[in-house]
Chains A and B, each alone.
Chain A
Amino acid sequence: MPAMPEMSEMSEPGESGKSRREGTHLLVRAGEYACALPLASVRRVVRSLTVHPLPGATAELEGLAEFGGEPLPVLNLGRMVHAPAGPNPAYPVTVVVWVGPAEAREMLGLAADAALEVVHVPPASVVAGDGGFLLGEAPVGGEVVRVLNLEALGRTA
């Protein structure tokens, strides 16, 4: 697990609490890529859930899992960001996130290879991406991470 800067160290002086809260991300690994998920959209990190594949589903949709007594669709994060396959993950995780607008948000599971840490990514450091699911890229701890926009994922879904 690469050493990542601690959340306190990544905070910049003079930054407000809201903006700081908005810049806090959960850093996960998907294949060769490190992806930053907005921490406000993250519901829970659990060990990789048992997924039941759905017939006729797309390649990104691994299937349905059970979380809190409710069915939870699980997407493959690595396929979604088109990450090259990395080494076999020792402790894969499923990140339960909120997608969609606040008034109609839904839980979705993202299958990642590992959950790394909570980091703070200043919005200014984000280089704009495609404007959709991939918000942009930002340097975190000497590594370029892909900053994802889960709201866009809700729209897409």
Chain B
Amino acid sequence: MDVDSTLPAVRSGKPAASRRTGPHTENALLGWILVVGLSLLGFVLLSVGSLAAAPAWPRFVFLALGAAGVLAYGVLVFPFFRRLERRLPEGEEQWGRLEEDLIASFNQLGAGDLVRSTAHTRGLPERLAKISEAASEALSQLAQQIQDSSIEVASAADAVNEIASELASGSSEQAASVVEITAAMEELARTASQIAENAGRQAELASRAEASGDAGSAAVFEAVTGVEEVQKRISAIASRADALGTRSKEIYRVLDLITEIAQETHILSLNAAIEAAAAGADGRRFSVVAEEVRHLAQRSQESVESVRNLLDEFSGSIRATIVATEEGSKEASRVLERSRAAAEAIEDLRRASGDTSRVAQQISLATQQQNAASDEVVMTLREVSLVVQRMTGGLKNLSTTADRLNSLGLEIQLLAQSFHLASPRSLKHLVEDWARRVEAAPSQEERAQVLDELVGGAPFVELGYFSRLDGTTPILSFNRDLLNERQRSLANKVHDTDVRTRPWFKAVSRHWRTTLIPPYESMQNSEACFTVCTPVRDGAGKITAVLGIDINVTGWTRI
């Protein structure tokens, strides 16, 4: 704020003092004329009233009081005003000085220099100086708080922006994940439907298998029964064959007996033949009989042998039959055993088929329920997806808002930095302090060294440059943590530039005050930065150069 423009009347100074010199005398004369006039008016009015009936002494008393008043005014009041009028030029001169100090103070205040504004209040009256200093101090504290708060706001907004960006990114990923989960659940639902369908088919097949198992079990049971009957028949055959064997042995015994009888008969016939031979001619016919008996015995023996042979064959057949029946019985037992095992296997298979059918039905039911649950989950996930999408949009808006808040905080910070405060956080104070240190160095090299140290110790300063009024820049310092080799080579081009054409130089040279240039994109690293520059004065107060520093916004907000 320019005080010169807001207080034009105050800036006139002298005319105001001359305008205040005359009224003291004029006031004294007007007071005297007023007292005399009022005395005369009272006398006239009393004189006109006494013409009719009033006595004359009140008129004389009032006249005497008027004369006494005129006399007292001329003796006491008029000399006071005269003395006051003689001292008025000195007071007006003192008032002018106070007015000048006050204007200068307001001008510094209007320029935002809360440090120098208090320097001009030393000539003011003590009370006014205290009030002015208190106002500057309050304003300084307010600006300081605004600076601090704006930095905190910018930092908080940056943090919120970062968190919101992360949350938005996370929400986007979450939304994508929800979409994938939804697709997976839909696929799961379809798979569950297929499983339910397949389980239903399997249950039907298992039911058929169970029915087939029942039929197979019945058939096997019949087969087992048949085999058992066959085994009984075989056992009966074996028993009968055994009985035949026993009978055959009896027949053998009978044959043996017959054979023995035949032998005995044979021997008997031989003895008869012997006796017949001993009888001579008489025994000739007897010998014939004996011979016939021998023949009979021989045929009997031959028949017995034939019967024995037949009986041998018969016995062999019976033995073969017995062996065959035993083998058949054993085979029937094996078949029966296998049939029973097959029956048990079929029964197990039937039970397994029944269990499979029931389990398949349960699976079908469970998968149908799973399908329904999956549909509900899919619907819920779609709602969740919508919520997440809305949340993502909200977070993006929050991020945008936080970004805007960060920008606002930065703008507030820059506005607060337009005040020159006696604080290390005041960039104007900082750059002026640097300017004094650099100027205090005796040589060019030492100035460059001082500036390098200062820039290196301030992590938020990209560049520091010391430019002379002829447009040259003899000293240029880099912050190597912020600028790489290529960026530093770009910055070195300032040596070939007449800085008097640069906006910052023009802004400083306009009023030769410390100036803050609004943010712009850095030529070196394309990041946001702003410039603070100040005139450099020598010991005599003469401006000899301009010191500028480029502040990296990100680094500054981190500080």
Contacts and interface: CB of A to CB of B under 8 A. Distances in A.
A26 interface: yes
A15 B46 CA distance: 252
B271 interface: yes
A150 to B, nearest CB: 14
B294 interface: yes
Interface string B256-288: 000110011011001101100110110000010
Interface string A1-34: 1000011100000000100010010100000000
A118 B288 CA distance: 11
A115 B267 contact: yes
Interface string B185-200: 0000000000000000
Contact of A6 (B267, B280, B291): B291
A118 B273 contact: yes
Contacts of B270: 26, 45, 115, 117-118
Determine which residue in B264, B273, B301 has the highest number of CB atoms from chain A within 10 A of its CB, and name it: B273
Contacts of B264: 47
A46 B266 CA distance: 10
Contact of B274 (A1, A42, A47): A42
Interface in A44-79: 44-47
Given A6-B291, A7-B287, A7-B291, A118 B277 contact: yes
Nearest to B294: A117
Contacts of A115: 266-267, 270
B107 interface: no
Contacts of A118: 270, 273-274, 277, 287, 291
A1 B298 contact: yes
A107 interface: no
Nearest to B276: A118
Interface size class of B (residues with CB under 8 A): 10 to 19
B10 to A, nearest CB: 177
B277 A93 contact: no
Contacts of B294: 117
A118 B280 CA distance: 15
A94 B270 CA distance: 12
Contacts of B266: 115
Contacts of B259: 90
Q: Is the interface of A mostly helix, strand, loop or mixed?
A: strand
Nearest to A21: B277
A41 to B, nearest CB: 10
A21 B291 contact: no
Interface in B276-329: 277-278, 280-281, 287, 291, 294, 298, 301
A39 interface: yes
Contact of B277 (A1, A24, A45, A90): A24
A46 B267 contact: yes
B263 A91 contact: yes
Contacts of A46: 267
Nearest to A116: B270
Given A7-B291, A93-B267, A115-B267, A45 B274 contact: yes
A10 to B, nearest CB: 12
Contacts of A93: 267
Interface string B238-271: 0000000000000000000001100110110011
A6 B274 CA distance: 14
A40 interface: yes
Contacts of A6: 291
A117 B269 CA distance: 9
B271 A45 contact: yes
A92 to B, nearest CB: 10
A118 B294 CA distance: 10
B271 A39 contact: no
A24 B264 CA distance: 22
A70 B29 CA distance: 227
Contacts of B287: 7, 118
Given A17-B281, A21-B280, A46-B267, A26 B274 contact: yes
Given A1-B298, A6-B291, A7-B287, A47 B267 contact: yes
A61 to B, nearest CB: 23
Interface of B: 259-260, 263-264, 266-267, 270-271, 273-274, 277-278, 280-281, 287, 291, 294, 298, 301
5 nearest A-B residue pairs (beta carbon)? A118-B273, A91-B263, A45-B270, A39-B277, A45-B267
25 contacts: A1-B301, A6-B291, A7-B291, A8-B291, A17-B280, A17-B281, A39-B273, A39-B274, A39-B277, A42-B274, A43-B274, A44-B274, A45-B267, A45-B270, A45-B271, A47-B263, A47-B264, A93-B267, A115-B266, A115-B267, A118-B270, A118-B273, A118-B277, A118-B287, A118-B291
Given A17-B280, A90-B259, 17 more contacts: A1-B298, A6-B291, A7-B273, A7-B291, A21-B280, A40-B277, A43-B274, A45-B267, A45-B271, A47-B267, A90-B263, A115-B270, A117-B270, A117-B294, A118-B274, A118-B287, A118-B291
Interface of A: 1, 6-8, 17, 21, 24, 26, 39-40, 42-47, 90-91, 93, 115, 117-118
